[in-house]
Amino acid sequence: MKPLRQPSVLPGFGLTFGFTTLFLSGIVLLPLAALVLMTASMPWSEFLRVITTPRAMGSYRLSFGASLLAASINLVFGFIIAWTLVRYEFPGRKIIDALIDMPFALPTAVSGIALTSVFAANGWIGRYLEPLGIHVAYTWIGVTVALTLIGMPFVVRSVQPALQEVQRDLEDAAETLGAGRFYVFRRIILPTVLPALLTGFTLAFARAVGEYGSVIFISGNIPMRTEITPLLIVIRLEEFDYRGAAALGFVMLVISFAMLLTINLLQAWGRRRLVATGH
Amino acid sequence: MSITLDQVTKRYQGVPVVNDVSIDIGDGEFFVLLGPSGSGKSTLLRAVAGLTGVDHGRISLHGRDVTHVPAQKRDVGLVFQNYALFRHMTIADNIEFALRVRRMRAAARRERRRELLRLVALEGMDERLPAQLSGGQQQRVAVARALAHKPEVLLLDEPFGALDAKIREELRRTIRQVQRELGITTVLVTHDQEEAFALADRIGVMNLGRLLEIGRPDELYTRPATRFVATFLGAANLLLARQTKSGVRFAASLTDGAAAEVAQGAREHEVVAVIRPEEIELAPQKSALASSYLAAGTVEEVAFTGALERLRIRLSNGATEAQLSRAPNSDGDALLEVTRSQYEQRAFGVTPGQAVAIGVRRIHVLPTPLSSFTAYAASLEQATALSLHPLLVELASRMRTRVSARITEEHGRITGAAVIAAGTDAMGKIEWLLQEGAEEVLVLPREAGPPQRVLIHWADDAARSTTLAVAASLLRHVAAEGVYIGILPTSTPDGQRPHSMRALLDARSEAQAVHGLEMRTELHFGDVAPELARRLAESPDQILILGISQITGLAARFNALLGSEARSPVLIVYHPQDARA
């Protein structure tokens, strides 16, 4: 067991620890506790009924399924974007690098409306996809597209610094030992950036699960098919069914927490392997 | 030959970082590339490994031309300064990396890994991660990993750079031992001369992308050919001296021929002499010296460093004139550096402020022709202004030599290279200087920077050897390419042309063999002066070295190059035809 206070060059442990506890309690834990309390005031049977209605089940499937899919897409393409930005010098690199952050800054409703107008049956891209039988707007594909957009910067920004740190020497060493490009990528680069990649994935996933603004415009919100859980919660609130809303929120909380915890544990395990004694 | 480099050149943005380097490294040889940072030694090593392409030249490993072969297929082992171990893999996986790539069976891999770990004395470390080992151990793993696939050559890029002194020495011994045991041809890159001496069979000294000299450590230390090698390999006092038939004469004294190796039949001329600090003897007065007397001096500093005592001594009676060890514009006077053994200290103890007689046991005279520069102009102000010309200042500081200023009409012995400004009266000045005994005259236009290309041409064949020697000396000090310009008059009958081509190739091989100078060659057709002027006009940042052996008719022949319209610096090398004695 480590002692609570470790000597440090920076003073003010007491003060900063106090702030940390205060903010965590006031801003994160207290509202969550309220949610749990509100749910707890429900009878068990009613709770089960509310959270297992077909409409609710459909919304979980969409929310978590589309979020996972979007985060996975971002894992691949975010890595490629980060790789391009780190490894190559080309005109306009700085501009593209700045553009990456746009989804952070844009009000999510704006991105939702913009996406809808582009992917609607008569939109710029939608009109070419429609004849092929691909309907983006008002389907689960549209939801995934919106979640991919808002999650992308998380992967790029997590992977970029890790890629910058991959020493060229490592690749050179592997090359002189006879390894081809793909082998170097698979055995040297990927394992080195994997923790950062996982962090990016987690952040993108968490953000996608909680996303509301951009999705409601492109999804069309058809119950059972394109209705996400956060929207269902809002609908319950508008019906003054506070307890129903709280129950759904609680379910989201539990599933999200379980998934994030799993990913974090995986990551911690990987990191321990990589930097055994902090080199 | 295990490794053969033939005129390897690598440029970054037009500037050569590796400049016409040719080396032959024998089987089982331990070769050390030594040079300051930025000298191109690491780039050259990476080129051998195949991690950097070359712009020009060829690289062969064991007779196989690998110039365009990728690193994966070159069969070399490379060790990096920062170990470059794969941190997410165990020591076993690191060492087996090359074997896994080659799809070797697990049992054979394990066998080879055991063997290698035994070789670098790290048995039982198989399952550790690199981060769990010390720096010295990590570098041992890196050596084992680089040897796993039994490469033909082992390349080491500053392998001890990140280690502290004690571990460095231990690892040095391990590497030497492993190299001997396996008999593997090894190239090590370092900036540390002590390391080079401890490890090398032969050393190649690099500076500014050029390979200056190659030789056994003791050869290079006792008989360097260049100022750079003399001062980079250990401490050295550089002094200007006059080489005469009877010995080497310093400003203040004459040391007899016994101390220095006198070049046979040499004319009396200015030379650069190297005196190692340990070759200097101190005594209370001149008569007590066992060696040749150099000068009198005053002890400025005494430092005790254990086995040796380091002294700095100010020369008196005018001998300071001769000293070059410091850059000419650095603050303070140059002091003579002396080291003495415990035995010498006991025999004659000195304290700061004490007057001593200085003797030298051994003097080495550098064969370099450009010993110093003297700027000539009509008045002393003009001469001083000329001596501050940026190109001249740059050259002098790189050559660690001195620029002095003198008035043209003043008669007196001309020492070193003369420098004048380009202009309408340049021709007259050149003729006067050459008649007065100058051997090199540098003609500077108003604006000129350090050259990127040195064009070499001799108008008279008698001047060939001297011109090549001067060109070699200049090229050792500037990061420029040497290009020999052969010019064939348009009127040459066709039957004569093969002869001219042969002369061109002869020039290149003489440059290489006698002066260690690598240069490219160009053949032009036309008249000499206009053709040279046209070639010089092609780009700025060029300098022409022009060898001649006749003064008469100089103006008529070369006015276009040296007159007021001259844009590029020209260094005239004069070798009188009758001087061959």
B80–A173 C-beta distance less than 8 A: yes
A172–B78 C-beta distance less than 8 A: yes
Question: Which has the closest alpha carbon to B532: B462, B575, B484?
Answer: B484
User: For residue B465, is pLDDT > 70?
Assistant: yes
Q: What is the pLDDT of residue B334?
A: 64
User: For residue B68, is pLDDT > 80?
Assistant: yes
User: For residue B264, is pLDDT > 50?
Assistant: no
Domain that includes residue A222, residue range: 52-228
Q: What is the pLDDT of residue B147?
A: 94
Other residues' Cβ atoms within 10 Å of the Cβ of residue A165? 11
pLDDT tens digits along A19-30 = 888 888 888 888
User: For residue B252, is pLDDT > 80?
Assistant: no
Q: What is the pLDDT of residue B331?
A: 43
Total domains in the fold of chain A: 1
Task: Assess contact for B279 and B362: CB atoms under 8 A.
Answer: yes
A9 to chain B, closest Cα gap in Å: 25
**Pick the residue with more confidence: B410 or B32?**
B32
**Pick the residue with more confidence: B512 or A110?**
A110
User: For residue B566, is pLDDT > 70?
Assistant: yes
Which pair of structure tokens corresponds to residue A154? Answer: 């998380």
Residue in A175, A187, A276 closest to B132 by CB: A276
When pLDDT is cut at 50, 70 and 90, the band that residue B44 belongs to is very high
Would you state the torsion angle of the CA atoms of residues B517, B518, B523, B528, taken in this order, to the nearest 10 degrees? -30
Mutant choice from B87, B113, B153, B157 vs A, greatest count of A C-beta within 10 A = B87
Reported ipTM: the value is 0.75
Query: What DSSP assignment string belongs to B444-500?
Result: E-SS----SEEEEEESSGGGHHHHHHHHHHHHTTSS-EEEEEEEE-TT--GGGHHHH
Highest mean pLDDT among A64-73, B8-17, B361-370: A64-73
Is residue A278 one of the residues assigned to a domain? Answer: no
Q: What is the pLDDT of residue A5?
A: 57
**Pick the residue with more confidence: B563 or B530?**
B530
User: For residue B127, is pLDDT > 60?
Assistant: yes
Number of residues that this document lists for chain A: 279
Is residue A237 one of the residues assigned to a domain? Answer: no
Which residue is listed with tokens 């690289």? B59
B87–A192 C-beta distance less than 8 A: yes
**Domains of chain B, first to last:** 3-222 (3.40.50.300), 234-366 (2.40.50.100), 373-579 (3.40.50.12370)
Mutant choice from A165, A167, A169, A177 vs B, greatest count of B C-beta within 10 A = A177
A187 to chain B, closest Cα gap in Å: 9
Question: Which has the closest alpha carbon to B513: B501, B505, B521?
Answer: B505
- Specify the range with the lowest mean pLDDT, choosing from A120-124, B249-253, B456-460, B516-520: B249-253
Q: What is the pLDDT of residue B322?
A: 55
A172–B87 C-beta distance less than 8 A: no
User: For residue B332, is pLDDT > 50?
Assistant: no
pLDDT tens digits along B509-553 = 888 888 777 788 888 888 888 888 888 888 888 999 999 888 887
Spell out a b/e string for A195-214, using b for 16 or more CB atoms within 10 Å of the CB, else e.
bbbbbbbbbbbbbbbebebb
Pairing outcome for strands B453-458 and B542-548? parallel
Is residue A220 one of the residues assigned to a domain? Answer: yes
When pLDDT is cut at 50, 70 and 90, the band that residue A67 belongs to is very high
Compute the average pLDDT of residues B330-335.
Answer: 56
When pLDDT is cut at 50, 70 and 90, the band that residue B394 belongs to is confident
Q: What is the pLDDT of residue B257?
A: 40
Which amino acid belongs to residue A83?
Answer: W
Residue A157 belongs to domain with CATH number: 1.10.3720.10
Q: What is the pLDDT of residue B251?
A: 59
Cross-strand bridge partners of residue A141: none
Q: Say what percent of chain B tops pLDDT 70.
A: 92
pLDDT tens digits along A137-151 = 888 888 999 999 999
